[in-house]
Amino acid sequence: MAATFDVGRGIFTLTTRNTTYQMMADSFGYLLHLYYGAKTAGFTDWGLTFADRGFSGSPYELGRDRTYSLDALPQEFPTQGTGDYRSPMLVVRDSEGTCGADLHYVSHEITEGKYSLPGLPAVYANPGEEAQTLAITLRNERLGLNVRLLYGVIPDKDIITRSVIVSNNGEKAFTVQKLYSSCLDFTHGDFDLITFYGRHAFERQYQRHNLKHGIFSVGSRRGMSSHQYSPFIILAGHDATESHGRCWGMHFVYSGGFCAEAEHDQYRQTRLIMGLAQDKFSYELEPGEEITGPEVIMTFSSEGLGKLSHSFHACIRENICRGKFRDSPRPVILNTWEALYFDFDGRKILDVAESAKALGVDMLVLDDGWFMNRNDDFRALGDWKADEAKLGCTLSELVNKVKSIGLDFGIWVEPEMISEDSELYRGHRDWAMVIPGEKPVLARNQLVLDLSRRDVREYIIQSMRGILNEGVTYLKWDYNRSIAELYSHEGSNGKLAYKYILGLYEILERITSEYPGVLIEGCAGGGGRFDAGMLYYTPQIWCSDNTDAVDRLSIHYGTSFGFPMSAVAAHVSTCPNHQTGRITPLSTRYTVSMTGAFGYELDPLKLTDDERREISRQIQQYKVDREIITSGLYYRLSRPEDINRYCAWEYVSQDGSKALINAVIPQNHGNMPVIYITPRGLTHGAFYRDIQTGETYPADALMDSGFPLDMPKSDCESFTLRLERV
């Protein structure tokens, strides 16, 4: 059994292939956290300690006994107002403005299968895959407040998920002011916190620091998961490396504002919590109403960061992503944005399509500029009608012409946005989130539609139907600004940030259900909404608006800790690069870009004959390697401090029979020391053959001593080694 309950001790145990998670409903009705770590037998309540903690208060029912304090004990769902002064997961304000809600264990239920969440994405179990759900109910009698803690267990993947449902079963309204979904309390340990920071065009940069006394938090107040911080964090033992040591990860399955906090307290205990952003959040619950906290995916590894990543990769690839393209090969794309920007007509598109087809491309994606009056980014968002004068035909006719060339057809959309200079805005000014009496904040010359409104959602769905019914089989779903103003003409503005994301998910759920053969690529100015919530609907996401191969090394490196390569969309673009001006070899641009969602972002009509031949070879090779890239185990072969000197990574097939190793040396220097790459994941005792040279290597020697890279002759050289087990 993945989930069990010992009645005599009040201990819940969740078990996966390699991990154990335990908590206890104690004699006072408090739910205490006991253990999350390597798989173990028996019970771990002996790890709790009790002592007089001075100014740390005790529950009233203990009377003069001062040895029990929630300010020092590890908890599963800490709340405000219980004498625990550390960061709470729940803050509730009653109808008189009083905060505080003491929760006590009421009951629990263990069921087969993995729970789902109404209106929210969540991990699902595949047919035949073992899974169980533990639901624990806590209650506050004064408010009539019920909290239902949900735990999902996918044993074979070492995955445990957490979510929470807060409901009002009382007679008066109360307001939820803070709601987090997951907590891990550690009574001791020397930990590092790994987070991923960034900015537009430079997302998910690796950052690691040792936790000292105090609170460290990352999050987003921008209405999306953001370019600035990823909703994915790792707590690692100070000595943890890629292949050694203990580490714990939390992945928020949500695309809006979030916060993750790590607190090292007065007793050198560490609390790690994650949930909805508290900023601009004030969710009033009337009697009979409830709110669901988005899911957090958790995993533990005693074998270092690489194993932790593999667990998250498998879960997201196989238990978050859905639909036709979860397992099937993704098309090789040519996107027109950096090739043409707004400067095109129908004839140019067809010329590009014919040239792309000759290279071996599978799909042409027409980016921004295809709809009425959209010749720059100042106008027309929301008016999703094709500019037939510009295209020289209807959208349906253009789609059919491209398909007759032999390519599938995709198109760019930004459905959540509206331009002031648009027919939609002139007819529905109240659909935009603008605070009355205030001048709106403009970002990329656009405003945000109020997705909490049903009429807005219906308009977007109808608009997308109009496009997809023309034969389009791919949408690049963009989102090019943060939310500064939260205002709805329908009220309930404290709920708006949350309801906006629920509205987005409803739209995506309906579209993906109605058009199961359509591939949607998520995008938010590149990687501004690169999260597990979006991957539930869009199995790939444009990783960054920065297509520079050197910058992409660190972007892909950070992304790989929590996300599978099958989710990473990356394109070979032209040089000098449009973001950095850097010139890199075409071969290196390919090596960096050949992820699970691969393509090109350049004008094929401007290529030289040599470049055409090289790109044709690249596409042919990618289609040979595509399976191992999208479904293989991914290994980072360089450390963060190595990336400016070299960056190396590896794909190994699930059965260990093949390996694909890539490396890039960003800068060449005089009389450089030789760089050795040490692969991992090969079969012990086996031999591997270099497919290109035929030379054979013993796997154990390769994984121990590594192999030398050729000395580079210029900056930004790349190297590839394909191995096959013999």
Coil, strand or helix: which one is 575? Answer: coil
* Rounded distance between C-alpha atoms, residue 337 and residue 231, angstroms: 28
Helix (H, G, I), strand (E, B) or coil at 140: strand
**Cα torsion 357, 360, 362, 366: sign:** negative
Q: Does the bond joining 576 to the residue before it have cis omega, within 30 degrees of 0?
A: yes
Residue with tokens 């968002």, as numbered in its chain: 381
b/e for 217-236, b at 16 or more Cβ within 10 A?
Answer: ebbbbbbbbbbbbbbbbbbb
Nearest to 480, CA basis, from 455, 444, 521:
444
> Within 10 A of 423 (CB to CB), how many other CB atoms are there?
14
Residue 114's contacts (CB-CB under 8 Å, 6 or more residues apart) are 122, 123, 124, 125, 131, 132, 133, 152, 153, 154, 161
Number of continuous H segments (helices) and E segments (strands) in the chain: 13, 37
Contact 497, 255 (CB under 8 A): no
The position carrying tokens 């929590």 is 562
- φ and ψ of 262, to 5 deg: -120, 120
User: The tokens 């219980």 sit on which residue?
Assistant: 82
Q: How many CB atoms lie within 10 A of CB 455?
A: 12
Give the position of tokens 């909703």: 231
Task: Look at residue 461 and give its three-state secondary structure.
Answer: helix
Show the tokens assigned to 692. Answer: 């290109």
Under a CB-based contact definition with an 8 Å cutoff, are residues 56 and 71 in contact? yes
CA atoms within 13 A on the CB side of 543: 34
End-to-end CA distance of the chain: 40
For 211-289, list the strands marked E by DSSP.
214-220, 232-237, 247-252, 258-264, 270-276, 283-285
Stretch (H or E) spanning 464: helix 454-468
Q: Which residue has the tokens 């939609």?
A: 424
In angstroms, the CA 484 to CA 83 distance is: 36
CB-based contact 651:679 (threshold 8 Å)? no
Residues found in the chain: 726
Q: How many C-beta atoms lie closer than 10 Å to residue 725's C-beta? A: 16
β partners of residue 186: 270
Take residue 334 and report the two structure tokens written for it.
């040519």
Q: Are 373 and 381 in contact (CB under 8 A)?
A: no
How far is Cα 427 from Cα 571, in angstroms, rounded to an integer?
Answer: 38
C-alpha 200: how far from chain center? 16
Catalytic positions, please?
531, 611
CB 414 within 8 A of CB 381: yes
| Bridge partner list, 184 | 272
602 token code pair: 């350049």
Q: State the amino acid at position 42 in one-letter form.
A: G
Task: Please give the C-alpha separations between residue 384 and each of 373, 415, 433, 505, in angstroms, as whole numbers.
Answer: 10, 9, 20, 20
Residue 120 is given by DSSP the state B
